[in-house]
């Protein structure tokens, strides 16, 4: 049993690394690719939990994730990225400092969440393995997504930050609400796909009018 | 008395059908766009009136094995949504055609407007009728999705920025609400089982068994999440942009959107009041900060719509304060104000829509001294300004007065003080704007050229009766509600009861 756990722990770590890549890689197409890989990893993790726990509902979840987060959303990102500038607008921090802070956010939050598991786990057994790592990773990626939203100037990167946050929430559901009915699940996923799509439509509209996906270029409203 | 009713399904499905019809018919006949949405909204209002009648008689309606649920509280909210929805949709019919004539948009885009307008109505009604914790998140987010492309409707740089901010902030914010809901669900499912734990009405009896830290975290997530969508300071920054960039007629409807989020927050949060008394205090404090900073920002605005938007931020603070007090008087004041403010503010936005129709601008400095404004618009605007400012005997006075009393009764004199002070500021701010726009004569020396240019671009036109009628109807309704306490009591008392009923675990 324990080697199965270590596979899942390994996949979770890979999930953290892909999050770092999504945010820090400045070439937007490669960042989107990293997001696609993260979607696949998420599917693998769900299948892993489905066989390990065993919880057959999670197989259905993994199909939902495969369609939405390793299918529709990466395709949408790809479709809109092709029509815009290939490189991200440089952020205020610069590549090196941003990378260091990003790693610090990831490590710091993992440590913080792992140490306060009782805050998140409604029953004690959820704090132990294999749920504990899952929850820690989910909340770490959530915090990292927020960091991405706050530190990036590129609107497309902001959308990828939102995608990371949604992935994190999805991951946390495995531990917190594995009994969630499929209808509720489909509702949640539909919301995510539609919100990403509409955000991309709006960004493309701005790109056509302003010629850049830089948030500062379009900021005219204030107060 | 609980009974199953198909009414709940119909109230959600009819606006959805109207949205579908608009989208289908719009391809072939864009010039008739809006008719299906208006008919749909009218039928919905009729059904809602039946629902309200049944609920006022003491019934509780259910459907979909308890997933949809209507008690006094939801009845009040769906009533507000359907009244404002109908008024705003009828108003839009001519207002949007005015925008087409002014070259702001194309006829081909009108079906999109009315289709999304009907969809927005559908999602808001669903959000107020759902009893499912996770679906609550799903539909509140759906209201944002349905309205985002209406905020960007004119497809200008500013409106795109506003839409982007709106969608991004509300999506991220509401994701926290989802986390909060999921944590509560996770805590409840060991006691209630997977299916029951999703029903909001089933939660109250087991709330005291939840782990304390987890619950506090979940409640914080809920306040941040629904608070962002409700426009609470400091999560309000999307709101003035979205309101001011959306077409005025839609801004009137959008202003109900924040109230649905406030409803969602009230629905879930009040369950925890008996166990976690500190939460109420937090909500009162947030409400206080929101009301005061909203009105301070409102003073600085030259754009009428931005000013009204900041005033909305401020007024949602009153609703929150009343809800946070946790007493039945507080709930009464909050829900009464909820009703009053929804009617008055959407009426004010319709007045701005009328001004745009006749004068082509929303800037106070440009509207000042311009000719061609209708007297009825002025009267409605003054009723709105005085009502929201809390001038007796208008409805806004009674609801605010109830909130002051409730705060004083709970011993929070500081909160009463801030609320009274804010009310005076609101009155000054709105009446000053109304005076400038409608009564002040232009100074001879102040660049009359700019104003003339504008009037030339937009020749003074008479307002169509459908637009005037909707403004007048909302104004009349507000006055009526202010003058007949019996009507108000019949509507709001069941809503207050249903909050108390759920909170004590009935």
Structure tokens at A97: 């400092």
CB contact under 8 A, B160 and A221: no
Which residue is closest to B176 within chain A, CA to CA?
A169
pLDDT for B457 beyond 70:
no
Which of A47-51, A89-93, B141-145, B376-380 shows the lowest per-residue confidence on average (mean pLDDT)? Answer: A89-93
Tell me the per-residue pLDDT of B201-240, one tens digit each, with 9 for 90 and over: 888 888 888 888 889 999 999 999 999 999 998 889 999 9
Q: Could you tell me the strand order of the sheet in which B60-63 lies?
A: B2-4, B60-63, B68-70
Q: Which of B167, B178, B306 sits opposite A199 (nearest CB)?
A: B167
CB contact under 8 A, B214 and A169: no
Look at residues B123, B48, B37 and name the one whose alpha carbon lies nearest to residue B87: B37
Residue A219 at interface with chain B, using a CB cutoff of 8 Å:
yes
Q: Is the dihedral of CA B127, B150, B375, B341 positive or negative?
A: positive
Residues whose CB falls within 8 Å of the CB of residue B45, separated by 6 or more in sequence, listed in order: B82, B83, B85, B86
Q: Which of B137, B138, B297 sits opposite A223 (nearest CB)?
A: B297
Q: Which residues of A17-39 are buried (b: 16+ CB within 10 A; e: fewer)?
A: ebbbbbbbbbebeebbbbbbbbb
Look at residues B495, B471, B468, B307 and name the one whose alpha carbon lies nearest to residue B399: B495
Q: How far is CA B422 from CA A40, B273, B318, in A?
A: 53, 27, 10
Q: How far is CA B45 from CA B301, B430, B494, in A?
A: 35, 30, 19
Residue B189 at interface with chain A, using a CB cutoff of 8 Å:
yes
CB contact under 8 A, A169 and B195: no
Residues 127 through 186 of chain A touching chain B, CB cutoff 8 Å: 142, 146, 149, 155, 158-159, 162, 165-166, 169, 172-173, 176-177, 179-181, 184
Does residue B455 sit within a domain? no
Does residue B456 sit within a domain? no
Residue B200 at interface with chain A, using a CB cutoff of 8 Å:
no
Does residue B162 sit within a domain? yes
What is the distance between the alpha carbons of residues B110 and B35, in angstroms, rounded to a whole number?
Answer: 11
What is the distance between the alpha carbons of residues A122 and B213, in angstroms, rounded to a whole number?
Answer: 9
User: How many angstroms separate the most distant Cα atoms in chain A?
Assistant: 57
What is the distance between the alpha carbons of residues B498 and B502, in angstroms, rounded to a whole number?
Answer: 6
Q: Which of A119, A142, A194 sits opposite B214 (nearest CB)?
A: A119
Give residue B131's pLDDT.
92
Chain B residues with CB under 8 Å of A158 CB are 168
Q: How much is the average pLDDT of A136-151?
A: 91
| Distance of residue A176 Cα from the nearest chain B Cα, in angstroms | 5
CB contact under 8 A, A195 and B214: no
Q: How much is the average pLDDT of B162-190?
A: 92
What is the distance between the alpha carbons of residues B63 and B73, in angstroms, rounded to a whole number?
Answer: 17
Give residue B65's pLDDT.
83
Banded pLDDT at A220 (limits 50, 70, 90): low
Residue of B131, B151, B161 for testing the chain A interface, max A β-carbons within 10 Å:
B161
pLDDT for B141 beyond 80:
yes
Structure tokens at B243: 């309101």
Look at residues B374, B204, B378, B403 and name the one whose alpha carbon lies nearest to residue B314: B403
Task: Give yes or no for a contact between B263 and B128, defined as CB atoms under 8 angstroms apart.
Answer: yes
Range of the domain at B139: 3-442+463-503
Give residue B452's pLDDT.
46
pLDDT for B503 beyond 70:
no
Chain B residues with CB under 8 Å of A146 CB are 172
CB contact under 8 A, A122 and B182: no
Look at residues B68, B224, B192 and name the one whose alpha carbon lies nearest to residue B136: B68
What percent of chain B clears pLDDT 70, i.e. is strictly above it? 95
CB contact under 8 A, A176 and B186: yes
Highest mean pLDDT among A170-179, B130-139, B366-375, B481-490: B130-139
Average of per-residue pLDDT values in chain B: 90
Q: How much is the average pLDDT of B62-72?
A: 89
Residue A221 at interface with chain B, using a CB cutoff of 8 Å:
yes
Give residue B454's pLDDT.
47
Banded pLDDT at B49 (limits 50, 70, 90): very high
Q: What is the DSSP letter of B204?
A: G
Residue B462 at interface with chain A, using a CB cutoff of 8 Å:
no
Tell me the per-residue pLDDT of A149-205, one tens digit each, with 9 for 90 and over: 988 888 999 999 999 999 999 988 888 888 788 888 889 999 999 999 999 999 999
Does residue B7 sit within a domain? yes
CB contact under 8 A, A122 and B210: yes
Look at residues B288, B331, B293, B329 and name the one whose alpha carbon lies nearest to residue B418: B288
Give residue B506's pLDDT.
45
pLDDT for A65 beyond 60:
yes
pLDDT for A133 beyond 50:
yes
pLDDT for B455 beyond 60:
no
Chain A residues with CB under 8 Å of B183 CB are 120, 122, 176
pLDDT for B1 beyond 80:
no
Tell me the per-residue pLDDT of A15-57, one tens digit each, with 9 for 90 and over: 999 999 999 888 999 999 999 999 999 999 999 888 887 788 8
pLDDT for B31 beyond 50:
yes
Give residue B443's pLDDT.
60
Residue B374 main-chain phi, psi, to 5 deg: -80, 150
CB contact under 8 A, B144 and A219: no
What is the distance between the alpha carbons of residues A205 and A199, in angstroms, rounded to a whole number?
Answer: 10
Q: What is the DSSP letter of B70?
A: E
Residues 77 through 136 of chain A touching chain B, CB cutoff 8 Å: 116, 118-123, 126
Domain tally, chain B: 1
Residue A209 at interface with chain B, using a CB cutoff of 8 Å:
yes
Highest mean pLDDT among A61-65, B118-122, B300-304: B118-122
Which residue is closest to A187 within chain B, CA to CA?
B138
| Distance of residue A120 Cα from the nearest chain B Cα, in angstroms | 6
Residue of B138, B144, B220, B296 for testing the chain A interface, max A β-carbons within 10 Å:
B138
Tell me the per-residue pLDDT of B261-299, one tens digit each, with 9 for 90 and over: 999 999 999 889 888 888 889 999 999 999 999 999 999
Give residue B453's pLDDT.
45
What is the distance between the alpha carbons of residues A188 and B136, in angstroms, rounded to a whole number?
Answer: 10
What percent of chain A clears pLDDT 70, i.e. is strictly above it? 95
ipTM over 0.85: yes
Give residue B248's pLDDT.
92
Provide the total of helices (H) and of strands (E) in chain A, helices listed first.
Answer: 9, 0
Please tell me which residue, B138 or A153, carries the higher pLDDT value: B138
Q: If phi over 0 gives left and psi between -120 and 50 gives alpha, with beta otherwise, what is residue B369? A: left
Tell me the per-residue pLDDT of B315-338, one tens digit each, with 9 for 90 and over: 999 999 999 998 899 999 999 999
| Helices assigned H by DSSP within B270-303 | 277-299
Residue of A119, A134, A185, A209 for testing the chain B interface, max B β-carbons within 10 Å:
A119
Which residue has 């003074």 as its token pair?
B460
Residues whose CB falls within 8 Å of the CB of residue B496, separated by 6 or more in sequence, listed in order: B72, B328, B331, B332, B335
Give residue A222's pLDDT.
53
Give residue B416's pLDDT.
94
Give residue A1's pLDDT.
53
Banded pLDDT at B504 (limits 50, 70, 90): low
Average of per-residue pLDDT values in chain A: 86
CB contact under 8 A, B142 and A218: no
């Amino acid at each position: 049993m324990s080697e199965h756990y270590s596979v899942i722990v390994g996949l979770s770590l890979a999930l953290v690394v892909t999050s770092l890549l999504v945010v820090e890689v400045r070439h937007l197409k490669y960042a989107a690719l990293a997001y696609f890989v993260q979607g696949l990893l998420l599917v693998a993790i769900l299948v892993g939990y489905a066989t390990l726990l065993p919880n057959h509902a999670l197989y259905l979840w993994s199909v939902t994730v495969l369609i939405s987060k390793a299918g529709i959303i990466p395709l949408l990102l790809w479709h809109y990225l092709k029509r815009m500038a290939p490189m991200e607008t440089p952020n205020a921090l610069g590549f090196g400092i941003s990378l260091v802070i990003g790693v610090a956010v990831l490590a710091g939050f993992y440590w913080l969440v792992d140490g306060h598991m009782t805050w998140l786990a409604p029953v004690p057994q959820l704090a132990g393995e294999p749920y504990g790592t899952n929850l820690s990773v989910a909340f770490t990626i959530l915090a990292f997504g927020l960091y991405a939203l706050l530190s990036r100037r590129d609107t497309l990167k902001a959308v990828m930050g939102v995608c990371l946050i949604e992935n994190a929430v999805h991951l946390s559901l495995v531990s917190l609400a594995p009994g969630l009915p499929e209808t509720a699940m489909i509702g949640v996923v539909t919301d995510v796909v539609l919100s990403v799509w509409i955000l991309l439509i709006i960004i493309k509209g701005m790109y056509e009018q302003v010629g850049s996906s830089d948030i500062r270029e379009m900021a005219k409203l204030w107060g | 008395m609980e009974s199953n009713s198909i009414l709940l399904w119909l109230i959600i499905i009819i606006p959805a059908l109207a949205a579908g019809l608009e989208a289908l018919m719009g391809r072939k006949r864009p010039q008739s766009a809006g008719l299906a949405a208006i008919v749909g909204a009218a039928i919905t209002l009729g059904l809602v009136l039946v629902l309200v009648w049944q609920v006022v008689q003491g019934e509780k309606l259910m459907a979909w094995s308890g997933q949809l649920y209507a008690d006094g509280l939801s009845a009040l909210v769906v009533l507000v949504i359907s009244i404002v929805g109908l008024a705003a949709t009828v108003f839009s019919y001519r207002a949007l055609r005015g925008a087409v004539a002014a070259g702001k948009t194309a006829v081909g885009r009108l079906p999109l407007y009315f289709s999304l307008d009907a969809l927005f109505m559908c999602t808001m009604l669903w959000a107020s009728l759902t009893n499912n914790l996770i679906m609550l998140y799903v539909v509140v987010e759906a209201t944002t999705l349905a309205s985002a492309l209406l905020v960007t409707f004119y497809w200008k740089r500013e409106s795109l920025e506003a839409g982007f901010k709106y969608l991004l902030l509300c999506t991220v914010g509401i994701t926290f609400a989802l986390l909060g809901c999921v944590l509560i669900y996770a805590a409840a499912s060991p006691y209630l089982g997977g299916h029951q734990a999703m029903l909001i009405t089933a939660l109250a009896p087991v709330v005291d068994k939840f782990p304390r830290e987890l619950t506090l975290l979940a409640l914080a997530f809920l306040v941040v999440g629904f608070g962002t969508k409700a426009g609470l300071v400091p999560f309000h920054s999307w709101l003035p942009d979205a309101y001011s960039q959306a077409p005025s007629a839609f801004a009137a409807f959008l202003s109900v959107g924040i109230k649905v989020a406030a409803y969602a927050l009230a629905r879930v949060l009040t369950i925890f009041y008996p166990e976690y008394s500190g939460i109420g205090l937090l909500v009162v404090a947030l409400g206080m900060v929101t009301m005061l900073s909203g009105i301070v920002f409102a003073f600085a605005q030259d754009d009428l719509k931005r000013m009204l938007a900041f005033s909305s931020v401020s007024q949602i603070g009153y609703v929150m304060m009343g809800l946070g007090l946790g007493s039945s008087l507080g709930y009464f004041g909050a829900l009464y104000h909820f009703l009053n403010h929804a009617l008055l503010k959407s009426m004010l936005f319709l007045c701005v829509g009328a001004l745009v129709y006749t004068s082509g601008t929303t800037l106070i400095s440009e509207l000042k001294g311009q000719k061609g404004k209708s007297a009825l618009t002025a009267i409605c605007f003054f009723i709105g300004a005085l009502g929201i400012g809390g001038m007796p005997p208008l409805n806004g006075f009674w609801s605010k007065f109830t909130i002051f009393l409730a705060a004083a009764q709970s011993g929070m004199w500081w909160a009463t003080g801030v609320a009274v002070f804010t009310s005076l500021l609101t009155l000054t701010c709105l009446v000053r704007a109304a005076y400038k726009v409608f009564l002040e004569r232009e100074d001879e020396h102040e660049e009359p050229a700019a104003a003339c240019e504008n009037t030339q671009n937009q020749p003074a036109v008479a307002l169509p009766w459908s637009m005037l009628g909707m403004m007048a109807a909302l104004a009349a309704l507000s006055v009526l509600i202010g003058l007949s306490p019996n009507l108000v009591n019949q509507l709001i008392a069941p809503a207050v009861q249903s909050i108390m009923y759920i909170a004590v675990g009935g």
